[in-house]
A and B are shown apart, each in its own frame.
Chain A
Amino acid sequence: MNVFLRELNAYRKSTVIWCASLSAILLIFMSLYPAFTNDVTAAKQVLEQFPETLRTALNISLSSFFTIYGFYGYLLSFAILAGSIQAMNIGTGIISKEVSGKTADFLLSKPMTRAQVVSAKLAAALTIIVITNVVFAGVSYLVALMVATEKFAAGTLFLLASTMFLVQLIFLALGALFAVLIPKIKSVIAVSMPTVFTLYIIGTLGDVLGNDKVRYLSPFKFFDTTYIIKNVSLEGKFLAIEAAIVVVAVAASYIIYIKKDVRASA
């Protein structure tokens, strides 16, 4: 419990900043929704002039863009990108900082098993991600209430919002795995940004090339907003892939961390 609380406290400021930033993105972007829906025809004509590949790359679907779900889903793809960086930063940082900060000697010479240390840290990381998502989903709902020009189902909106949590879980688990695999991580950002952006670009390229199989390679494409809006559910096979990735990455993180030698910090 002490490690868990210590980590929550250590990440308090950054969690507040991430929550505020994601909320600000929501507010600013969603406030544009009424402007787009005031004259759908004109806005549609402008967007139609964009090359289709560009629209695909930007994740703009003309059939749903002018609905509250579609507009929110478009924004969500960028929020998920940002949220993924947050999750990977935490997943990588919360484990690796004891080595990079040379505090591993202090922590691991205390009467705790390494599994307990990892559990406490991952629990804290998960709590931070949950807090971020609760705030994000709550602000999403409130902003949607403010700007929506038509009635909408809160359940669908929350289901869309939940995809950020699901993608973040993957990056949290990958971050933890990278933290135990890479011997000395000097900069968390140097690990998280290339990973997140590489997977994001892979997903976007798959869309542009029209290759549906690429969806399996990029977590950003696991949960398709069009599918969610249409079916009010998530795709089961991708939920299973997500669960497999998270379980394997977390289990591997435990095993490697438990077996790892902590070399002298000097």
Chain B
Amino acid sequence: MNVIETTKLTKYYGKSRGIVDVDMTVTEGEIYGFIGPNGAGKSTTIRTLLGLIHPTSGSATIFGKDVTTSGPAIREEVGYLPSEVFYYDDMRVIDLLRYSASFYKKDRKAIEQRIKHLAELFDLDLKKKIDDLSYGNKKKVGIIQGLAHEPKLIILDEPTGGLDPLIQQQFFHLLKEENEKGATILFSSHILSEVQKLCDRVAIIKDGSIIKVEQIKTLLENSTKRFKLELVNMPDASAFAIEGVSDLALVNHSVSFLYRGRINEITKMLAGQDLIDFLVEEPDLEEIFMHYYQKEDVQ
């Protein structure tokens, strides 16, 4: 069963492009990654699904219901965490979470217990005023308000900003637990490693259009890394002429390149170099689009 289904979903803000002809299908029980650079249209898609903005054309359904006509019924079963969280500063955390819970038809006692459980898990003081919380703690409030009613669909729009690595890990663990219990997750991010850790399938969006939908396994097999080396001697370009290397740049004693392929192959080559230092990092999404999805993009 498809939990989310969009058909040629398009949104223009006046003349400026939001999303164009987005076709997306998220199946029940899936963790679906939605990745793209800032301004690509991730938030626009999500906000259209939630009824926060109205589509210019096309359609979108959640649980088989039209998002433009069945918003409240859909949102009853949806938990949403936006990238930036803002709540009522005059409220205490517990009051905000109770206020949030009051919108749902589900058993209040069960939600209350879950709020307490999640607050303990994330070490969040429920008695504090929202205004007194750090941004990271506000984000925890966001997670709890989004998950307390045990939604069937969890929509996360770049949710990890402001969370320290330990909390991020707990959050991902919690999401996997929710997924095992049956929740479907739409996870938007511009950080590839986050999506790789969590998702089953990923849609890549660029300039308002989905350019690729890929199983995460395939994406991992095609994983690209950027290598930056500092060498004792002047580098020899021919040493780097191996399969999978692209975007090679040699400046004085420094070498930078993208590599896609078996890590063993590249480490063999590196073993032959007289290294002072080396750094391996994920390329940014623009680089991935440029070097790995060039063909699809052109098509």
Contacts and interface: CB of A to CB of B under 8 A. Distances in A.
Q: Does B bind A?
A: yes
Interface of A: 2, 6, 10, 101-106, 108-113, 116, 259, 261-266
A261 B53 CA distance: 4
Nearest to A10: B90
Contacts of B74: 111
Interface residues of B, number: 32
Given A2-B102, A111-B73, A262-B47, A105 B86 contact: yes
B71 interface: yes
29 contacts: A2-B99, A2-B102, A2-B103, A101-B86, A101-B88, A102-B84, A105-B86, A106-B86, A106-B87, A109-B50, A109-B52, A109-B80, A111-B72, A111-B73, A111-B75, A111-B103, A111-B105, A113-B71, A113-B72, A259-B54, A261-B53, A261-B54, A262-B52, A262-B53, A263-B13, A263-B47, A264-B82, A264-B84, A265-B86
A109 B100 CA distance: 10
Contacts of B99: 2, 6
Contacts of B100: 106, 110
| Interface SS of chain A | loop
Contacts, number: 72
Contacts of A112: 72, 75, 103
B104 interface: yes
Contacts of A261: 13, 52-54
Q: Summarize B's interface: helix, strand, loop or mixed.
A: loop
Nearest to A101: B86
Contacts of A106: 85-87, 100, 145
A58 B13 CA distance: 50
Interface of B: 13, 43, 47, 50-54, 71-76, 78, 80, 82-90, 99-100, 102-105, 145
Contacts of A109: 50, 52, 75, 78, 80
B157 to A, nearest CB: 9
B82 A105 contact: yes
B87 A103 contact: yes
A111 B86 contact: no
B76 A265 contact: no
A105 B52 contact: yes
